[in-house]
């Protein structure tokens, strides 16, 4: 039975990859770079996007906002004058805990691809399944908050391995935590040797310029 | 296509409920009360269990530790002399982001049901899917950390509705955050009117006695 389950999962991922490639072709034709932004719930994805997307040296950014339900984050980002499209996994997609290529494909007609250079897809807050589903992105970025503990790379290695960049957020709280940054970086290097990382506080703005520059370069 | 997907999800949940009932019957026969403990990654489940399980007024506790992979938390809990059984969703279960009734069923032969009164099942860190799968528990408890933000009940309402008790953790950090506790409680009441909650810091120990007493009463 376990073998059957694993095979079903593998078949589903193969199908997903086919659709992801179709998405990628559409994005490429439109000249839009796509970044898939992932993290646990409450790690600071939206706060970071509020900080960096409104001023990207002329790069025109848009957001595809993934949530199980509601539009709280989309409303926050619309307030900083970024075009935002909401994608709810609870609306016809069974309340899935992640975005997949098919869901993103369903949103493409609503995206203003002709008016943007960069699309950030804010995935559902979850450290497991979002890492398994490509959506047609050019790069995957994850945020790990220091409040989550230094063991997270070891517990969710697929997520940390799937990313081209790891953002270590909420460093303004470091002095109030037992979090051991050296140990976190050691664990990170163990599961994804050499992956670039950036230290930042999306709340205070400390260190976010490096990510803003990275986005400008990527676009 | 969406309708098909939703029906598949519903059928899977029906099958899960049947197995959950079989688990519950086994636990009842053994006289063991089962608590399903859920939260986002890094909210403090293991730290809280380290605090409360070693001294429960004579109630004999055990833990079923759910993780995608590894045994970091099980090792921590074994160090406080609590019997722990590790259940990895990555070992034969396709790396699932939650425990389900069938996974728990597979672990029952390894559980020392004759030697314990209370079994705490530490679920995979995730605010979405764990809420959908009953495992044969008597009660569901979730931890929401104040570092995750006050919007979480609105974004993950199924999780907050599924629980009989909500633990609000990391209150030692409140003075360093913008977290609005009144707003969080307002959102919590909106999605699950009247659900009991407890304020605590598993790190400092503040407020954990109330949960310890709750576990003793539940057992």
Answer yes or no: do B156 and A132 touch at CB < 8 A.
no
Rounded to two decimals, the pTM is: 0.94
Residue A5, pLDDT score? 60
Our CA angle for A144, A150, A151, nearest 5°, is 100
| pLDDT tops 60 at residue A43 | yes
Chain A environment of B6 (Cβ under 8 Å): 92, 94
Answer yes or no: do A68 and B178 touch at CB < 8 A.
no
Share of chain A above pLDDT 90, in %: 89
Share of chain B above pLDDT 70, in %: 96
Among the partner-chain residues B147, B157, B178, the one whose CB lies closest to the CB of A145 is: B147
CB pairs < 8 Å spanning A and B:
114
pLDDT in tens, A174-213: 999 999 999 999 999 999 999 999 999 999 999 999 999 9
Chain A environment of B38 (Cβ under 8 Å): none
Query: Does residue B9 belong to the interface with chain A, where contact is any CB pair within 8 Å?
Result: yes
- State how far the Cα of A144 lies from the Cα of B199, in Å rounded to an integer: 24
Task: List all residues 6 or more positions away from B132 whose beta carbon is below 8 Å from its beta carbon.
Answer: A95, B13, B98, B158
- Give the model's confidence band at B14: pLDDT under 50 very low, under 70 low, under 90 confident, else very high: confident
Please, are residues B150 and B93 in contact by the beta-carbon 8 Å criterion?
no
Alpha-carbon gap: A217 to the closest alpha carbon of chain B (Å)? 30
Residue A54, pLDDT score? 86
Task: List all residues 6 or more positions away from B201 whose beta carbon is below 8 Å from its beta carbon.
Answer: B169, B170, B171, B172, B173, B207, B208
Among the partner-chain residues A127, A155, A176, the one whose CB lies closest to the CB of B70 is: A155
Alpha-carbon gap: A157 to the closest alpha carbon of chain B (Å)? 9
| pLDDT tops 60 at residue B2 | no
Chain A environment of B2 (Cβ under 8 Å): 92-94
Locate A63 and state its tokens. Answer: 């957001």
Mean pLDDT over B154-158 rounds to 95
Query: Does residue A174 belong to the interface with chain B, where contact is any CB pair within 8 Å?
Result: no
Average pLDDT, chain B: 94
Answer yes or no: do A147 and B125 touch at CB < 8 A.
no
Residue A94, pLDDT score? 74
Mean pLDDT over A9-18 rounds to 85
Alpha-carbon gap: B31 to the closest alpha carbon of chain A (Å)? 30
Residue A2, pLDDT score? 54
| pLDDT tops 90 at residue A86 | yes
Q: Which of A63, A44, A64 is nearest to A206 (CA)?
A: A44
Please, are residues A183 and A173 in contact by the beta-carbon 8 Å criterion?
no
Average pLDDT, chain A: 94
Among the partner-chain residues A6, A147, A156, the one whose CB lies closest to the CB of B68 is: A156
- State how far the Cα of B202 lies from the Cα of B145, in Å rounded to an integer: 10
Residue A4, pLDDT score? 62
Among the partner-chain residues A126, A147, A173, the one whose CB lies closest to the CB of B42 is: A147
Query: Does residue B154 belong to the interface with chain A, where contact is any CB pair within 8 Å?
Result: yes
Query: Does residue B69 belong to the interface with chain A, where contact is any CB pair within 8 Å?
Result: yes
- Give the model's confidence band at B193: pLDDT under 50 very low, under 70 low, under 90 confident, else very high: very high
Answer yes or no: do B70 and A41 touch at CB < 8 A.
no
pLDDT in tens, A145-157: 999 999 999 999 9
Query: A205: helix, coil or strand?
Result: coil
pLDDT in tens, B63-84: 999 999 999 999 999 999 999 9
Residue B4, pLDDT score? 62
Alpha-carbon gap: A147 to the closest alpha carbon of chain B (Å)? 7
| pLDDT tops 90 at residue A172 | yes
Among the partner-chain residues B2, B68, B149, the one whose CB lies closest to the CB of A155 is: B68
Chain A environment of B67 (Cβ under 8 Å): 155
Higher pLDDT, A9 or A74: A74
Q: Which of A84, A112, A100, A97 is nearest to A40 (CA)?
A: A97
Among the partner-chain residues B5, B147, B203, the one whose CB lies closest to the CB of A94 is: B5
Residue B1, pLDDT score? 41
| pLDDT tops 80 at residue A166 | yes
Respond yes or no on whether ipTM tops 0.90: yes
Task: List all residues 6 or more positions away from B91 whose beta carbon is below 8 Å from its beta carbon.
Answer: B69
Query: Does residue B170 belong to the interface with chain A, where contact is any CB pair within 8 Å?
Result: yes
Mean pLDDT over B144-168 rounds to 97
Our CA angle for A119, A144, B86, nearest 5°, is 125
Residue B11, pLDDT score? 79
Mean pLDDT over B181-185 rounds to 98
pLDDT in tens, A114-132: 999 999 999 999 999 999 9
């Amino acid at each position: 039975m376990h073998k059957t389950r694993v095979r079903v999962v593998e078949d589903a991922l193969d199908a997903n990859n086919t659709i992801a490639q179709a998405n990628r072709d559409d994005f490429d034709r439109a000249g839009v770079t796509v970044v898939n932004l992932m993290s646990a719930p409450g790690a600071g994805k939206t706060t970071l996007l509020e900080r960096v997307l409104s001023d990207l040296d002329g790069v025109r950014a848009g957001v595809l906002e993934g949530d199980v339900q509601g539009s709280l984050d989309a409303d926050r980002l619309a307030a900083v004058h970024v075009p935002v499209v909401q994608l709810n996994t609870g609306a016809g997609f069974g309340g899935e805990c992640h975005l997949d290529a098919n869901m993103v494909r369903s949103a493409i007609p609503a995206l203003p691809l002709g008016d943007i250079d960069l699309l950030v897809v804010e995935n559902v807050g979850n450290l497991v399944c979002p890492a398994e589903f490509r959506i047609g992105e050019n790069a995957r970025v994850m945020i790990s908050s220091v409040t989550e503990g230094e063991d997270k790379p070891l517990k969710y290695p697929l997520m940390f391995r799937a990313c081209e960049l790891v953002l270590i957020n909420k460093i303004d709280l470091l002095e109030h935590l037992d979090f051991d940054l050296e140990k976190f970086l050691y664990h990170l290097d163990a599961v994804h040797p050499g992956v670039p990382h950036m230290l930042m506080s999306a709340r205070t703005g400390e260190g976010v310029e490096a990510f803003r520059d990275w986005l400008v370069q990527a676009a």
